[in-house]
């Protein structure tokens, strides 16, 4: 299905009458912690470098274009809209899009798998960028395994890909936000290869800081930096965040995403109903309701609808067929084909969709090491095999990734959705009017979701097995 381009006026009317519809904030903080057992450290943290992030033209707001006589200034609005449209990030070329799509195809079925009863959430874009920065700090087979998983031939290709991903997904225009930020946190007593730091700054917009690892001042600066990049939406999760006194290096990556529903749910229709969880137990929660003309998509083991967002992306709601578990559906290659099809799906019908969706607040927590090992990344987790030599020669001997923790949260309501996640990788030493079919699409049992950007690529994926 092709998404039709909107005229400035139709765009404005469809998406802004009724006010801001919701909030979607997707945040992922990824940390790389390296410690070779250094002694006590001294000093305080200081900024070594800063980066300038791209500027975007503000989205024109209706209220700013009414004249004193009450008439609307169409000419001025159209000019402002044209300037905003011209400033939108360039889409990735086909090769770059395919690289991320291949990573999504490989990683989603593995990294979104859970225990079959709990909820899981995973951000392919942020994990991709975190692994890309990890590749910059490794060499040999350690690096090659990461490059293979990320679908690029060499570091130069990876840098091109990472910068394209950044530019394609960085938006801050007042209508929606998709903000990426990276930083390096360096042990003050360890020397690092400056070319590696320069590459991370140039290709990943990574700021650099250096200080006393384990000191409360440094920990507070780190927490404050993450909270500032994510508008405080992860404050509850960052309150206990700290670096070990033996940490050599920390790489932190964040993604903040904000967008409203194109059409918000009517709050007066929200009512309690029953959700049957993955264990077959009944849970009572509030359900959102709307009846609208939409497209119903069918796969061999699922049906799906899309709830559109004002940024041009949307949230896919994917319901497994009766008798199909969410984990079984994740193992079906057709699912990832569908997620990457951006609506171009043969088995689809236009219908009157009566959507019933539970208000949910789901969290997921997983150590990604096992999943990444299944995907061919093994050496960085193995003492004696991991190669972190680009960081600083002999100072990096014996380092290996001991933990790669991914936590995420997604919440939806009538207005939109809010999501947050962090990943810590620890490295240690050693349509026309017609009569339409009416279809009830009720998500009263386990289902999947995916939040996509304007390119149609999933920024966040998740499984809702329980609403409790």
Claim to verify: residue 124 and residue 159 sit in the same structural domain: yes
The answer to whether 247 and 187 are in contact (CB under 8 A) is yes
Summarize pLDDT for 261-318 with one digit per residue, the tens. 889 999 999 999 999 999 999 999 999 999 999 999 999 999 999 999 887 789 999 9
Cα distance between residue 113 and residue 28, in whole Å: 18
Examine the domain organization and report whether 252 and 369 are in the same domain.
yes
Look up residue 155 and give its two tokens.
């570091």
On the question of pLDDT at 448 being above 80, the answer is yes
Dmax (CA) of the chain: 75
Neighbours of 361 (CB within 10 A): 15
Helix extents (H) in 355-438 = 369-374
The answer to whether 125 touches 459, Cβ cutoff 8 Å, is yes
- pLDDT value of position 181: 84
Domain shared by 245 and 173, yes or no = yes
Q: Give 165-182 pLDDT, tens digit per residue.
A: 888 888 888 877 788 888
Residue 70 forms part of a structural domain: no
Position 6 scores a pLDDT of 41
Position 84 in a domain: no
175 occurs within a structural domain? yes
pLDDT tens-digit map of 221-257? 888 888 888 778 777 777 887 877 777 777 788 888 7
Residue 245 C-beta-side C-alpha neighbours within 13 Å:
8
Q: Which residue has the tokens 């997983």?
A: 366
In which band, very low, low, confident or very high, does the pLDDT at 395 lie, cut at 50, 70 and 90?
Answer: low
Sorting pLDDT into bands at 50, 70 and 90, what band is 105? very high
Q: Looking at mean pLDDT, say which of 8-17, 38-47, 378-387, 392-401 comes out highest.
A: 378-387
CA–CA gap between residue 153 and residue 157 (Å, rounded): 6
Q: Residue 86 falls within a domain, yes or no? A: no
**SS3 state of residue 441:** strand
Domain assignment of residue 107, yes or no? no
Please tell me the predicted confidence (pLDDT) of residue 310. 80
Identify the domain containing residue 271 by its residue range: 261-361+432-464
249 plus 320 within the same structural domain: no
Instruction: Give the chain's domain count.
Output: 2
CATH code for the domain in which residue 318 is found: 2.30.39.10
Is residue 166 located within the same domain as residue 313?
no
Half-sphere exposure of 397 (CA within 13 A, CB side): 3
Q: What is the CATH number of the domain that holds 417?
A: 3.30.497.10
Flag whether the pTM goes above 0.85: no
pLDDT at 286: 94
Is the predicted pLDDT of residue 156 greater than 90, yes or no?
A: yes
- Check whether residue 252 and residue 304 sit in a common domain: no
Q: Provide the pLDDT for residue 427.
A: 66
Residue 17, pLDDT above cutoff 50: no
Residue 17 lies in a domain: no
Q: What torsion do the CA atoms of 339, 343, 349, 350 make, to the nearest 10 degrees?
A: 130
Give the residue from 456, 465, 461 showing the smallest Cα distance to 92: 456
Same domain, 178 and 123: yes
- 283 with 376, same domain? no
Q: Kindly indicate the confidence band of residue 259, based on its pLDDT and cuts at 50, 70 and 90.
A: confident
Instruction: Note whether 313 and 185 are same-domain residues.
Output: no
Same domain, 423 and 444: no
- 348 falls within a domain: yes
Residue 284 lies in a domain: yes
Burial 192-204 (b: 16+ CB within 10 A, else e): bbeebbebbbebb
Both 244 and 292 in one domain: the answer is no
Q: Helix, strand, coil shares of the chain as percentages rounded to 5?
A: 30, 30, 40
Judgement on whether residues 345 and 383 belong to the same structural domain of the protein = no
Task: Tell me which range, 15-29, 121-135, 142-156, 241-255, is most confidently predicted by mean pLDDT.
Answer: 142-156
């Amino acid at each position: 299905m092709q998404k039709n381009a909107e005229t400035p006026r139709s765009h404005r009317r469809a998406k802004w009458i009724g006010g801001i519809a919701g909030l979607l904030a997707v945040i992922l903080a990824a940390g790389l912690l390296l410690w070779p057992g250094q002694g006590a450290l001294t000093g305080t943290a200081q900024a070594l470098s800063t980066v300038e992030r791209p500027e975007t033209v503000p989205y024109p707001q209706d209220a700013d274009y009414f004249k004193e006589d009450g008439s609307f200034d169409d000419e001025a609005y159209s000019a402002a809209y044209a300037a905003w449209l011209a400033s939108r990030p360039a889409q990735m070329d086909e090769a770059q899009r395919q690289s991320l799509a291949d990573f999504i195809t490989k990683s989603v079925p593995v990294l979104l798998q859970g225990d079959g009863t709990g909820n899981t959430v995973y951000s392919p874009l942020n994990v991709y960028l975190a692994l890309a920065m990890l590749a910059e700090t490794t060499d040999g087979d350690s690096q090659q395994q990461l490059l293979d998983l990320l679908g690029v031939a060499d570091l130069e290709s990876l840098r091109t890909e990472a910068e394209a991903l950044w530019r394609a997904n960085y938006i801050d225009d007042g209508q929606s936000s998709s903000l990426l930020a990276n930083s390096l946190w360096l042990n003050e007593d360890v020397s690092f290869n400056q070319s590696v730091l320069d590459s991370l700054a140039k290709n990943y917009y990574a700021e650099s800081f250096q200080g006393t690892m384990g000191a409360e001042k440094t920990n507070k600066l780190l927490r404050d930096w993450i909270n500032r990049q994510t508008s405080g939406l992860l404050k509850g999760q960052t309150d206990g965040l700290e670096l070990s006194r033996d940490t050599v290096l920390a790489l932190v990556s964040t993604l903040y995403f904000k967008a409203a529903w194109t059409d918000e749910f009517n709050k007066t229709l929200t009512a309690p109903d029953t959700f049957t969880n993955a264990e077959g137990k009944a849970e009572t929660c509030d359900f959102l309701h709307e009846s609208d003309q939409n497209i119903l998509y069918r796969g061999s083991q699922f049906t799906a609808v899309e709830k559109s967002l004002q940024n041009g992306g949307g949230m896919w709601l994917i319901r497994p067929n009766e008798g199909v578990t969410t984990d079984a559906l994740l193992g079906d290659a057709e699912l990832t084909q569908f997620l990457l099809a951006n609506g171009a799906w043969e088995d689809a019908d236009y219908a009157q969709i009566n959507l019933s969706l539970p208000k949910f607040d789901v969290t997921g927590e997983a150590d990604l090491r096992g999943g990444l090992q299944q995907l061919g990344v093994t050496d960085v987790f193995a003492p004696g095999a991991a190669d972190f030599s680009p960081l600083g020669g002999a100072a990096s001997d014996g380092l290996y990734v001991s933990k790669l923790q991914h936590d995420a949260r997604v919440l939806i309501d009538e207005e939109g959705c809010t999501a947050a996640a962090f990943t810590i990788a620890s490295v240690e030493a050693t349509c026309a009017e017609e009569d339409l079919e009416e279809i009830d699409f009720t998500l009263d049992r386990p289902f999947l979701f995916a939040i996509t950007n304007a390119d149609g690529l999933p920024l966040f994926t998740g499984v809702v097995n329980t609403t409790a």
